[in-house]
Amino acid sequence: MTTLSFEFFPTKTEEGTEKLLKVRDELAAFNPEFFSVTYGAGGSTRDRTYAIVKAIQERGIAAAPHLSCVGDSKDDLRSLLNEYKDLGIDRIVALRGDLPSGAGLASSELRYANELVEFIREETGDHFTLEVAAYPEMHPQATSFESDLERFVNKVKAGADSAITQYFFNADSYFYFVDRVRDMGVDIPIIPGIMPITNYSKLARFSDACGAEIPRWIRKQLEAYGDNNESIQQFGEEVVTEMCHRLLEGGAPGIHFYTLNQSEASLRVWRNLV
């Protein structure tokens, strides 16, 4: 069975929240396994993340809050875990998280995602299904691809149940990553994270920041469309749909869409797949 899930980020305004809840309802009609909600650097969106998670859960849909360890104390994390348990949450996306500006890893009680996974297991046992991040094209701060693979394996050994990848536009990078970690003893599901293409300048900015490679042929075609958003979106839909077909045919267990709090682009791709 192919799983479907979507990611949101916390909004900053009431108007943004109202729009997000409409998007939630549009996407909920497709019976996703869960909605994940991001968590800002150093817990900077903690309250807003919690509010969105609560609004999703109250709608009768499974919500999976992101939880990062950098910048939060064990007491803060313990408190939040208990709040989520009380809310009926049973899935968490456990991440190291982005470093707040000017902060270093040494300022945190927990420094890496495997330590957060271990901490959650120590505190809550098997209550939560734990998702962790995977980087088919290597984490942008990793010293080497091999060391990044080892870090991923450590997260799995610490107690992760499943993984969601950073987005990519080269299916071979996903298959190679999966083959490598399978050879290293990893057997958990690894869900491809998919970013719909709707705006070239934003996509290029995101990709440069997170280390996701836009293949040259895709980049050049998007550049050629200039400000023609209709052509960009049509081309993007074709490219992403074709890649998703290949991923699912090659054994990927599902699709996780990075929605950017929009429904249309993700749904166009999903409808092409089902």
Cβ-count burial 234-246 (b if 16+ within 10 Å, e if not) = ebbbebbbebbee
* Catalytic-residue membership of 249: no
Q: What is the dihedral of CA 192, 193, 198, 200, to 10 degrees?
A: -100
- pLDDT tens per residue across all 274 residues of the chain: 789 999 999 988 889 889 999 999 999 999 999 999 998 655 556 788 888 999 899 888 899 999 988 878 899 899 999 999 999 999 999 998 766 555 555 556 888 999 999 999 999 999 999 999 999 999 888 889 999 999 999 999 999 999 999 999 999 999 999 999 999 999 999 999 999 999 999 999 989 888 899 999 999 999 999 889 999 999 999 999 999 999 999 999 999 999 999 999 999 999 999 8
- What is the distance of C-alpha 156 from the center of its chain? 16
Given its phi and psi angles, is residue 252 left (phi above 0), alpha (psi -120 to 50 degrees) or beta? beta
- What is the distance of C-alpha 26 from the center of its chain? 20
Distance (Å, whole) CA 48 – CA 54: 10
**Residue 59 confidence (pLDDT):** 85
User: CB neighbours of 9 closer than 8 A, spacing ≥ 6?
Assistant: 37, 38, 45, 260, 261
Element containing residue 191 per DSSP (H, E): strand 190-191
**Residue 104 confidence (pLDDT):** 52
**Residue 46 confidence (pLDDT):** 76
CB-based burial label for 178 (10 Å; 0-12, 13-18, 19+): buried
- Rounded to the nearest 5°, which phi and psi values hold at 130? -110, 120
CB atoms within 10 A of CB 201: 11
